Amino acid sequence: MMALQRLFNNLATSKLNTPKLLSNFVPRCSYGLNNVGSDDPDVEIIEKKIVEEKTSLAMRAYLQRATQYNSFMQQQTHEYNVGKRHLANMMGVDPETFTQSDIDVAIDYLFPSGLYDPKARPLMKPPSEVFPSKKDAEFDESGRPFHVFFYTGKPNFYLILHNIATKLSELNKFEDSLRKNNILPDPDKKLTSLGSQWLSKEDLEKLTVEKLSDHEYKNFVIAIERLLKHPCSYKYGEFISDYQKPMISTKAIIESAPVEYTKDGRAFVTVKDCPRKDARADVTVYYPGTGKLSINGKGIEFFDDIQAREQILFPLLFTDMVDKVDIHATVRGGGVSGKAGAIRFGISWSLRSFVDPETVERMRIAGLLQKDYRRRERKKPGQARARRKFTWKKR
Amino acid sequence: MRAYRRLCGYATAAVKQETQYQIPTAARTEKKNPVDHDSQDVSKFYTIDPKTVSNIFQTGGLPKPFTEQTNMFAETALMIRQPALEVINSLKSTDFQKPAVRYLLYGQTGSGKSLSLAHILHYAYSSKFILYHIPYVPIWLKYDRKEVNWSSSKNGMADIPLIAAQWLKHFVHQNGALLNELNLTTSQDYVWSQRETTPQGTTLNELVTHGINRAKYACDCMDILLNELKAHCSNNRCKMLVAIDGFNAFFNEKTDLKTEDRVKVTPQQITMVQTGLSAVLSDWNNGAIIMVTSPRAALNTKRESHLPIYLIGRQGFEHIDPFIPVMVPELSTVEFNNMLDYYEEKRWLQKPGGRKELEFLTSKLPADLMARCAPL
Amino acid sequence: MALFAKYLRIGSTVKHGFQAFPQLTTAKYSVYPPHFAEPVYKKQELDKLYESGEIENYKLIPFKAAKSNETCSIFHDPMVAKFINYMLLKGQKKLAREVLEKTFEKIKKLQLEKYNRETDPEKKASMIIDPVVILKKAVANSKPLLKLTAVKRGGSFYQVPVPITDKESTFYAMRWFVQCGREKDKSISFADFMATELIKASNNDGKVVNKKLDLHKQCEANRAYAHYRWS
Amino acid sequence: MSALQTTLRRTTAVLMPIGYYPARVWCSTRAAPTDGKFRVLDLKKKSFVPHAKKKYIKTITLPPRALSMPVDQEWSNVWPGPRTFHPATVPLALRQGYDPKRASPGKYGNAELMKIPNFLHITPPAVKKHCSALKQFCTEWPKGLETDEDCDRHFPMTTITTDYCHSSPTIKDPKSRIVTIKIKLSTLNLDKHARDKMIRLVGDRYDEESDILTIVTDRCPTRKQNYDYGVYVLTALYHESNTFEEWERQKQEADMEHYIWENNPSKKAYVTLTRWPEKVSDDDVKSHSIDEDTVGQKYKEAVTELLNNGEDTYTLNKYREAALAVLLPQTIQA
């Protein structure tokens, strides 16, 4: 936006825009096209003139596109606002206090879709959320790019890499200067990547508004990881954290399920539809108990397979609750190990309510509280099985 | 050496543990004769001396895995359990003038019914009962390239002569000495064919020997033997214990057997089964009848429950009513611990400390426990 | 031989050590995102982590679910589980496990017979009956120190002795056991054959140990090619 | 190429069967083009003559009705009844569908929006309007039917039918013809025989636990017919179960709904046992009474319960106690 404003100012005063290419200044791109079709008539006239006189072909095409896009967005916004008033009227509510969340509720009521994916259901959203943003102009009216890295094709991405590299060399210098004075970089301040992960490829693409290849993304990760591992990396902690996001929170795992009580005062937790492969299990754990187990009305003999029995035992043994709880499970679908795995997950998931937080953490590390999403791999066409290829001989 | 230790750190750890860990010894009782066993001996082991074992069980009666285990441990040790003791106690106090009392042992697969029966058999053997013992009925009815013929004496019935002869051998092995001692004889003439007859007054041993030698008549011989024994018992000349393991197989819907003309045979059509069924009728006294029902003896499709009437059906119930059902439960905690003590004493269980796990995995069924401990 | 192996290892860049943090690139088809770590399902190992304070590193990392053949039972051993997996044919894990358990039973029977025959109390005490220990010992005894790889030099392939990682050598040893079991005479059962073979190997004898020695001999014979690893 | 050669060639060409030799040869004569253009021999007359382009007349359509709607209109007048979604009539900026690269499709030409049901005709103001219009026809709730129990007592039969809500303006779903009739069997006041016969007649339509008989009729095309048929079936069942047919006398032991100890071998076994060692005949068994025999009474009760209620730990234990008292009275005393 800044860049464009500047462009218009320059155009108005008929001066050539000379970006400070020599310095490290590169405008960090702002996303979305704004204010290209200005409302001010004077500006428009001058603009048109100069556009015709001096601007390059690319710039003219760009301006045309931008005006088109803006008017389109304006129209869409207008439609949305009118639609919102209509909807408020339909639902018999005051349109002034009608918010987006009210719209969502109303649409859900008027168009009850049974589609599984919420994304596929009908919606009414402001156009800014619906239409993807577009990149601003990257060059001036004479066709000269603003960005130093314009000719790399992916200026924003390479800017990031460039910044990482400069920071790294600065850190090296800094470290040298420290060592000259016989000071060692503070090991306590050292940054770690614990609890956070790098932005995913999609996130990075969104940030740069550029399409990246896998290879480029890998380069980015290698570069930023090298910066992180530098002993003095704490100097640029903020810069690094711009490209990090927190890891999947373990909070949901550690928070225990709500406890209910039977008539005789025993606590119990029910977990429904515990998944593993094709099996689904409903598990109820009663506490305190005496180690009774019932699976579909049978005891442990429900499973002939010793491995399946061991799986049922695993969480109980791990938490030392073998004879302290009663378990009631119903399981359907799947095979033997699937059934056992589903029950195992149900037991461990409900045991969280009856053990101390440290044990819950231990269970998490032991992999008891993670759903096992692995499924049978499909057979592929042109192959004998999932991975196996047909026998092939060259001659 | 150090390198080796590092390579199998587990081994040294185990060895170290063993030196610290005191290997327990199982609780045993010195009373070798089951007549002396009382409620104080429950959950303790007692050893049967090898000679008695070979006299009673050499030709059947002990489950195969158990026999293998006894061979390895070089002793036959049985745990004294409540159900067997209960039957033995009531046998001791039975009024033998009344008709023979029927007991039915039932319980889950692997809960120790056959070994309880073995204990009772040992008692009966040492109190000089004649044992009319069928080791395991399904063996008779399983397809095993057996010769099945139509019976010559009973119309529409089928004989399995070789199996019957085998059983007669088993009978002689168990009771030969006792029969000689009692000197029981036949009460009437039996005409097998034009040339072969057994005159009145022949000893039962001779009768059985004839059945063994002439396998064709073995099935009839079984029947006659039973009738003779029933009569002798009723006349107070001897005592008899009928013991049938896998009793519910008599009431199965079908067998795997076919006669030579490829006709399928139901259990009710087999003479030996009829003899077995008539053995459990209490139309005689001076004895007792013990039956064992087991889900494993039933057909594959009918093993949902271990309860007796489900297994023998209404017909079976009416055949043996009234009877005393005796439940053989899983091991109690004391029994379970003693059993594991025994295994550890015999070095069969190498890793101590997993008792809770074993209890959960096997639900304290002794046969399951035996199988689970085998690779540990 | 060990010296030779050491010599070869100088040039090797094989790194050992526990990787505490998840790798950047995971297995190609894994359903878990790359930052998921392998679970620590043994209680003793977890206790060790707590003692050393290493556990702090694990607090924020998500963990994969424990597999269906992993438990914290004292009877469970990762090496035995691995051996079962190597024995596996067509995914019949139940059968493979049964066969190995039968093998263990047989080992115990054989060792117990010896144990009962032994009269010297000292020897009796030092006798190993635990089949898992025997398996470990047998595998340790049959682990090769070197392996041969084909390297193309001047148009022809040379069998070049190369140092071997611990994991790989364990795999070699276990694979040899399974191979021997499959090549055996049909009249003996797999379990019986395996039992005798494992006991023999634990005493540094038997087919598998011979296989190892054969490999060593070949490496020794081809030591002239060793430099092909670098040049 | 000399003239001789050309002639030679021509003759050979003539001699060749037509269609075998390339047609090009015939053009290689020395005949010169007349108008300076190179004349091409067009044997198959396939040269393309472009047709005159069809002129499409753009039909003039009115702009969507939604554009001219005032925002404070009465919506229920615009959309009075159930109707498939129409983009020009609904003044909302609706979208449906998902595309990771582009914006989701709008309402025009979007078949997905037409597939899903809509409730545009029953917006909250519309519902209010309907209710106020219907209010004048409502009557008071009848007295004496305040609780569910009262309702059940006065109206023991429940009829269940289902109406289906569609996006289409019809309620003619094939499933709406199905009629379910539920009634508690106890409300029919049947005697012992009739009740047994009824249960045998209806089979699995009777639920023992809740004592409810359920009749589902779906064989007729309309709901009315199905309802009539259901009521007819219920009536027929009632009368049929109240009649006693001659063949019902032939009922045997296996047909009995309950186990009756006196008619069964269990009694014979018991009598034989008590009178041991004398032999008993069938008449003896019949005439034997156990009225004063507490052991026998208990035994009878246990056997009946065991066979009627099915075996479980409780009934088996009871039977065991009774059997012990019969077979081993001395141990019980001990």
Hey, which residues 338-357 in chain B have their CB within 8 Å of chain A?
Answer: 356-357
Q: In the numeric block, which tokens belong to residue C165?
A: 């990682």
Give residue A12's pLDDT.
39
* For chain A, domain boundaries: 57-130, 150-246, 260-366
Helix (H) or strand (E) holding B101: strand B101-106
Instruction: Considering only the beta carbons, identify the residue of A221, A247, A314 that sits closest to C72.
Output: A314
The chain C residue lying nearest B14, using CA atoms, is C133
- d(CA A61, CA B33) in angstroms, rounded, equals 110
Among all chains, which residue has been given the structure tokens 């596109």?
Answer: A65
Question: Residue B264 and residue B285: Cα distance in Å, rounded?
Answer: 36
- Same-domain status, C201 and C164: yes
B357 neighbourhood in chain A, CB within 8 Å: 313, 317, 322
- Tell me, yes or no, if A307 comes closer than 8 A to chain C by beta carbon: yes
Q: In Å, how far is C7's CA from the nearest CA of chain A?
A: 34
Residue A359: which of D115, C43, B200, C91 has the closest Cα? C43
Q: Number of residue pairs across A and D with CB atoms under 8 Å?
A: 82
Residues of A within 8 A of D85 (CB-CB) are 111
Q: Which two tokens stand for residue B55?
A: 């006299």
Tell me the Ramachandran region of residue C90: left when phi exceeds 0, alpha when psi lies from -120 to 50, beta otherwise.
left
Kindly determine whether residue B361 and residue A323, on different chains, have CB atoms separated by under 8 Å: no
Domain closes at, from C45, C76, C107 = C76
Q: Is the CB of B363 less than 8 angstroms away from the CB of A300?
A: yes
How far, in Å, are B252, D290, D295, D300 from residue D323 at the CA level?
A: 25, 15, 9, 10
pLDDT attached to residue B177: 87
Residue/partner pairs of A251-259 with CB below 8 Å, 24 or more apart: A253/A360, A253/A364, A253/A369, A253/A370, A254/A352, A254/A357, A254/A360, A254/A361, A254/A364, A256/A352, A256/A353, A256/A360, A257/A349, A257/A350, A257/A352, A257/A353, A258/A353, A259/A353
Q: Which of B93, B308, B322 is closest, CB to CB, to D273?
A: B322
Q: Give yes or no for C102 touching A (CB within 8 A).
A: no
Mark which of C25, C50, C76 sits at the end of a domain.
C76
D62's tokens: 């009115």
Beta strand segments in chain D, E: 158-160, 179-184, 206-207, 212-217
DSSP single-letter state for residue B292: E
Same domain, C122 and C82: yes
Q: What is the dihedral of CA B254, B260, B263, B264, to 10 degrees?
A: 10
The whole-chain average pLDDT of chain D stands at: 83
Cβ contact C75–B8 (<8 Å): no
- Checking if the pLDDT of D104 tops 60, the result is yes
Taking phi first (over 0 means left), then psi (-120 to 50 degrees means alpha), and beta for anything else, what does residue D231 get? alpha
Nearest to B375 among C101, C113, C136 (CB): C101
Which chains are within 8 Å of D by 3+ CB pairs?
A, B
CA distance B80 to chain D (A): 21
Chain D neighbors of A79, CB-CB under 8 A: 93
- Do B8 and C130 make contact, defined as CB atoms within 8 angstroms? no
Strand pairing partners for B51? Answer: none
Question: In the predicted model, what is the mean pLDDT of residues A313-326?
Answer: 93
Within chain B, what is the greatest distance between any pair of CA atoms? 85
3-state secondary structure of B106: strand
Rg, chain C, Cα only: 21
| D43 pLDDT tier (thresholds 50, 70, 90) | confident
What pLDDT is recorded for position C54?
81
Residue-wise pLDDT for D66-76, tens only, equals 999 999 999 99
Q: Inform me whether the C-beta atom of residue C97 falls under 8 Å from chain A C-beta atoms.
A: yes
The residue whose two tokens read 């006041």 is D189
CB–CB of A76 and D93 under 8 A?
yes
C-alpha span between D123 and A89 (Å, rounded): 10
Q: Which of A311, A320, A312 lies closest to A359, judged by CA?
A: A320
Rounded CA gap, A193 and C57, in Å? Answer: 10
Give the nearest partner residue to D75 out of A90, A113, A115, using CB atoms.
A90
The arithmetic mean of pLDDT across residues B34-49, rounded, is: 89
Asked if A95 reaches chain D (Cβ–Cβ under 8 Å), the answer is: yes
When divided into structural domains, chain C yields a total of 2
Q: Which residues of A touch C51 (CB under 8 A)?
A: none
Tell me whether 0.90 is exceeded by the ipTM. Answer: no
Nearest CB to D94; choose among A85, A91, A122:
A122
Of C62, C63, C69, the CB nearest to A307: C69
Please name which of C59, B246, D6 lies closest in space to residue A253, comparing C-alpha atoms: C59
Nearest chain C residue (CA) to B18: C125
Three-state secondary structure string covering chain A: CHHHHHHHHHHHCCCCCCCCCCCCCCCCCCCCCCCCCCCCHHHHHHHHHHHHHCCCHHHHHHHHHHHHHHHHHHHHHHHHHHHHHHHHHHHCCCHHHCCHHHHHHHHHHHCCCCCCCHHHCCECCCHHHHCCCCCCCCECCCCCECCCCHHHCCHHHHHHHHHHHHHHHHHHHHHHHHHHCCCCCCHHHCCCCCCEEECCHHHHHHHHCCCCCHHHHHHHHHHHHHHHHCCCHHHHHHHHHCCEEECCCCHHHHCCCCCEECCCCCEEEEEEEEEECCEEEEEEEEECCCCCEEECCECHHHCCCHHHHHHHHHHHHHCCCCCCCEEEEEEECCCHHHHHHHHHHHHHHHHHHHCCHHHHHHHHHCCCCCCCCCCCCCCCCCCCCCCCCCCCCCC
pLDDT at A116 over 60: yes
The span from the CA of A85 to the CA of A96, in Å, is 8
C105 & C159 share domain: yes
Instruction: Tell me how close the Cα of C72 comes to any Cα of chain A, in angstroms.
Output: 6
Q: Is the pLDDT of residue B364 over 60?
A: yes
Which pLDDT tens digit goes with each residue over B165-198?
A: 989 999 999 988 888 888 888 888 888 888 888 8
Using an 8 Å CB-CB cutoff, list chain B residues near C166.
Answer: none
**Could you report how far apart the first and last alpha carbons of chain C are, in Å?**
23
Mind giving me the DSSP string for chain C?
Answer: -HHHHHHHHHT-----S---S--SS--TT-SS-TTPBPP---HHHHHHHHHHTGGGGGTTS-BPPPPTT----TT--HHHHHHHHHH-STT-HHHHHHHHHHHHHHHHHHHHHHHHH---HHHHHH----HHHHHHHHHHHT--SEEEEEEEETTEEEEEEEE--HHHHHHHHHHHHHHHHHHS-TTS-HHHHHHHHHHHHHTT-SHHHHHHHHHHHHHHHTGGGGGGGT-
Phi/psi region, residue C154 (left: phi>0; alpha: psi -120 to 50; beta: rest), is left
* A121 touches A113 (CB < 8 A): yes
The answer to whether A232 touches A219, Cβ cutoff 8 Å, is no
| pLDDT of the residue at B145 | 74
Residue of A299, A301, A313 with shortest CB distance to B357:
A313
Chains that touch C (3 or more CB pairs under 8 A): A, B
Domains and CATH numbers, chain D: 70-135 (no CATH), 148-247 (3.30.160.20), 258-327 (no CATH)
Q: Rounded CA gap, D270 and D263, in Å?
A: 12
B99: chain D residues, CB-CB within 8 Å: 272-273, 276
pLDDT attached to residue B351: 86
| C66 is a domain residue | yes
Contact by Cβ (8 Å): A135, A31: yes
Our CA-based measurement puts residue B196 at a distance from the nearest CA of chain D, in whole angstroms, of: 35
User: Is residue C62 within 8 angstroms of chain A, CB to CB?
Assistant: yes
**CA C123 to the chain's CA centroid:** 28
A32/D143: higher pLDDT: D143
Where does the pLDDT of residue B146 fall: very low under 50, low under 70, confident under 90, or very high at 90 and above? confident
For residue A207, count CB atoms less than 10 angstroms from its CB and return exposed for 0-12, middle for 13-18, buried for 19 or more. Answer: middle
Q: Mean pLDDT across the stretch C122-135? A: 90
Interchain contact C57–A (C-beta under 8 A): yes
Q: Residues 6 or more apart from C96 whose CB is under 8 A from it? A: C84, C85, C87, C88, C89
Whether residues C43 and C119 fall in one domain: no
Contact check, Cβ <8 Å, A371/C62? no
User: C116: which residues sit within 8 A by CB, 6+ positions away?
Assistant: B74
Residues C147 and C217 in one domain: yes
**Does any domain span residue C16?**
no
Give the mean model confidence (pLDDT) for residues C142-148: 92
Task: Compare D139 and A184 and report the one with higher pLDDT.
Answer: D139
- Which pLDDT score is estimated for A49? 55
- Mark whether C118 and C65 lie in a shared domain: no
Q: Quick check: A340 contacting C, CB < 8 Å? A: yes
Q: Which of residues 7-36 of A touch B (CB under 8 A)?
A: none
Inter-chain touch B360–A300, beta carbons under 8 Å = yes
Question: Is the CB of D96 less than 8 angstroms away from the CB of A112?
Answer: no
Task: List all residues 6 or more positions away from A286 whose beta carbon is below 8 Å from its beta carbon.
Answer: A262, A266, A267, A268, A325, A326, A327, A328
D300 token code pair: 């009878």
Arithmetic mean of pLDDT over chain B? 87
A neighbours by CB contacts (3+ pairs under 8 Å) = B, C, D
Lowest mean per-residue pLDDT among A285-294, B23-32, D146-155, D207-216: B23-32
Whether residue C99 is found in the same domain as residue C197? yes
**Is any Cβ of chain A less than 8 angstroms from the Cβ of B296?**
no
Residues C131, C202: one domain? yes
Please report whether residue C2 resides in a domain. no
Which backbone phi and psi does C134 adopt, to 5 degrees?
-65, -40
For C116, C118, C119, C126, C127, the CA distances from C123, given in Å and listed in that order, are 11, 7, 8, 5, 6
Rounded mean pLDDT of B158-169?
Answer: 89
Residues of B in contact with D303 (CB under 8 A): 321
Residues C61 and C153 in one domain: no
**Which range marks the domain in which residue C51 is found?**
37-76
Statement: residue D61 has pLDDT above 90 = no
Q: Among 1.10.1760.20, 3.30.930.10, 3.30.465.10, 3.30.230.10, what is the CATH number of A260-366?
A: 3.30.230.10
Mark whether C50 and C82 lie in a shared domain.
Answer: no
Determine contact, residues C84/C97, Cβ cutoff 8 Å. yes
Among chain A residues, CA nearest to B369: A306
Residues C113 and C63 reside in one and the same domain: no
User: Quick count: other Cβ atoms within 10 Å of Cβ B173?
Assistant: 16
Give contacts of D307 with chain B, Cβ < 8 Å. 309, 314, 317
In a domain, C9, yes or no: no
C46 and C86 together in one domain: no
**Scanning the structure block, which residue is given the tokens 């100069």?**
A50
> Regarding predicted confidence, which is higher, C119 or A104?
A104
Sign of CA dihedral A168, A174, A175, A180: positive
pLDDT-based confidence at residue D23 (cuts at 50, 70, 90): very low
Domain-located, residue C12: no
Assess if residue C153 is contained within a domain: yes
Which of A291-305, C75-89, D289-303 has the lowest average pLDDT?
Answer: D289-303
- Chain-chain contact of B375 with C77 (C-beta, under 8 angstroms): no
Residue at C126 is within a domain: yes
User: What is the distance in angstroms between the Cα of B369 and the nearest Cα belonging to chain C?
Assistant: 14
Selecting from B108, B360, B372 the residue whose C-beta is nearest the C-beta of A313 gives: B360
What is the CATH classification number for the domain harbouring C123? 1.10.455.10
A7 touches A137 (CB < 8 A): yes
**Residue in B356, B370, B372, B376 to test binding to A, most A beta-carbons within 10 Å:** B356
Please state which of the ranges A103-117, B75-89, B322-336, D280-294 shows the lowest mean pLDDT: D280-294
Nearest-by-CA chain C residue for B349: C130
Does residue C29 fall inside a structural domain? no
* Nearest CA distance, A105 vs chain B (angstrom): 52
The DSSP bridge partners found for residue A332 are A280
**What value does the mean pLDDT take over residues C112-133?**
88
Secondary element (H or E) of residue B105 = strand B101-106
